[in-house]
Chains A and B, each alone.
Chain A
């Protein structure tokens, strides 16, 4: 009997091994942006018109969906479908989408929502649907003052982006830059701030003095920048929310690119003391200045790693300008670039995995990225003149500025802000009222 049971047992084992699971490897797919339908958010009956100052914003639901669409299209990751092809009306779609209708137009995700406007309150509700699985993926509602309707559109974009990519978004952010007007030989430079999509531009200085290299604090809405007062460089601190600015300090000689540490407690910069440029930090609470590098070469453009343990900077200590990485106390300096040309303006990604830089080779300027050990160098874009990359808070997109060629009198000159994502394929001009340079991307306004 025992033998019989054993035989049956082994037969079973043999049979189960013979009917093994069939495996198929899928190693290719299409890299097209995800088709997404953003249905206009419908206005609930009884809602009032939304007023912004003297202006009346008509059909704010449609306007919000348009902003979401523009954000998605600019990201390069999504393909918002044309509204003409939508079969279902927004109010019904928000309650119960007919997924067959949305599948018909090849949508894989659907955004629906509704807006309620009262005297002093705006309530926006949205839902993200997986059209293929016929399931709701996320549903959120926001209440705010009516004037914040654009921000709500950006926050919705961020939430959807995060749900569909697994990464934080970067739409509810701002960009500070130097607005430029006038001839090339006589430029007026003002500090300006705008939403990441170019809307809501505000000028923060009058243009009487030269302003350079504004940089956001990674933690809050503080900005540090450099300005010349009676031909002496000064580092300023500006609170975007309150508009209050203060002088951090006067520094001797050429001072460059003050930048915050990741915790926002220090400013790191380079300035020339006794004719030699080195890197210094300043404690924001005590205002104590500490020298980090001590070398006869020119050390500039320092940038902290997100954990604050390392600093990347450029230096000509090897003869040509190259990028170096060191510990935050200035020890263990290592050169990481060995390619042809000059490397400068290194900026550590908020994700910590890459360093963005400007490269100059054979009179052409490149914006590129590499790993912190110098490996995996990728040049994303090439042009006549471009520099100063700054990361989006999620480390997916870079903003920089590009200048055009001009004749000896400065005709044909322009400076514009551009963005490019890490693929190198999604390059976009950022529309600004005036010329712009030295952009810096803020962290997410709402977390």
Chain B
């Protein structure tokens, strides 16, 4: 136990090797399967904590508006429910699941997801609503994954960052519409927003047969980051956003 504890202390961690930002990511060989037992346990622990916190919110503090948001737009079919269950079981470690919950923090965020063209019109409203929501969910915001996200970047800051990268990302034309076109890139940033290190999270996919487009897509995302840097990051709270994950999702644009 002592050994485990010692290893997991942050200050005991070795600083990661600072590789130069290169395009030739295909040279790195990564096995198809990963085996990170600690991460799995950590995810389970997070799930448990999250469940507990959600119960508290629903039973004690969740405002009515929040409850409304959780209602689906349509009555889910039994197939849909099964799909959702399957996804949750399969992708416990997938940050996307966590992200979906995070997004329901404010009314504005949910609207923004479905109507990206009206971001500007909603920004002012979002300031008030976000603040109010955070106040109401104080217990939640101080201790859960959801709120650490909200604290790291405000909606304005997130929108500014998005808008900056939108302009830099030249989407490769000719992507297949049948395949998954999501590239997740983890960044370590400097306080001024320049990129210290970038890492493609689904790297193994690059070398798989029939996934040539994925390499091209990943390269375009890396190119966008390089063109854009320094990224528009908040002037404060560096510790909270120094590690940033950008999910470049071309699915909507290609598939319509």
A residues bordering B, Cβ < 8 Å? 2, 5-6, 8-9, 12-14, 16-35, 76-77, 108, 130, 132-133, 135, 137, 162, 164-167, 353, 396, 423
Contact = CB atoms under 8 A, between A and B. Distances in A.
A423 B21 contact: no
B172 A9 contact: no
A164 B216 contact: yes
What are the 10 tightest A-B residue pairs by CB atom distance, in nearest-first order?
Answer: A29-B169, A166-B212, A166-B213, A29-B171, A166-B216, A133-B23, A22-B152, A20-B145, A23-B245, A77-B173
A303 B220 CA distance: 37
Interface residues of B, number: 69
Interface centre among A2, A16, A18 (most CB of B within 10 A): A18
B49 A17 contact: yes
Interface stretch (B63-71, B80-88, B122-130, B247-255): B247-255
B213 A22 contact: no
B226 A22 contact: no
B208 interface: no
Contacts of A5: 1-2, 5
Contacts of A32: 170
A276 B116 CA distance: 57
Contacts of B138: none
Contact of A133 (B45, B170, B212, B222): B222
A26 B165 contact: yes
A34 to B, nearest CB: 6
B174 A165 contact: yes
A34 B170 contact: yes
A423 B116 contact: no
26 contacts: A8-B5, A13-B42, A18-B144, A18-B148, A20-B148, A21-B186, A21-B245, A23-B149, A24-B245, A26-B246, A29-B253, A32-B170, A34-B172, A34-B173, A77-B172, A77-B173, A130-B219, A130-B223, A133-B226, A135-B24, A165-B172, A165-B174, A166-B174, A166-B216, A167-B213, A353-B178
Contacts of A108: 170, 223, 227
Contact of A26 (B22, B169, B178): B169
B173 A27 contact: no
B253 A23 contact: no
A26 B247 contact: yes
A284 B241 CA distance: 67
Interface of B: 1-2, 4-5, 8-10, 21-24, 42, 45-46, 49, 95, 98-99, 102, 116, 143-145, 148-149, 152-153, 158, 161-162, 165-167, 169-174, 176, 178, 186, 212-217, 219-224, 226-227, 239-241, 243-250, 252-253
Contacts of B152: 22
Nearest to B167: A30
Contact of B42 (A16, A19, A27): A16
Nearest to B213: A166
Contacts of B243: 21-22
Given A5-B5, A17-B46, A133 B174 contact: no
Contact of A9 (B1, B166, B221, B253): B1
Most chain B beta-carbon neighbours within 10 Å: one of A5, A13, A23, A164: A23
State the majority secondary structure of interface residues on A.
mixed
Nearest to B233: A22
Contacts, number: 162
A242 B222 CA distance: 49
B174 A21 contact: no
Majority DSSP secondary structure for residues of B touching A: helix
Nearest to A23: B245
Nearest to B173: A77
A26 B4 CA distance: 37
A22 B170 contact: no
A2 B172 CA distance: 56
A4 to B, nearest CB: 10
A135 B21 CA distance: 10
B52 to A, nearest CB: 12
Given A14-B143, A21-B244, A165-B174, A26 B162 contact: yes
A30 B42 contact: no
A26 B249 contact: yes
B246 to A, nearest CB: 5
Nearest to B2: A5
A13 B49 CA distance: 11
A24 B42 contact: no
A396 B213 CA distance: 14
A133 B221 CA distance: 12
B110 to A, nearest CB: 13
A12 to B, nearest CB: 6
A22 B153 contact: yes
A95 B105 CA distance: 54
Nearest to B237: A22
Contacts of B143: 14, 18
A131 to B, nearest CB: 9
Contacts of A34: 170, 172-173
B143 to A, nearest CB: 7
Contacts of A26: 162, 165-166, 169, 221, 224, 246-249
Contacts of A166: 172, 174, 212-217
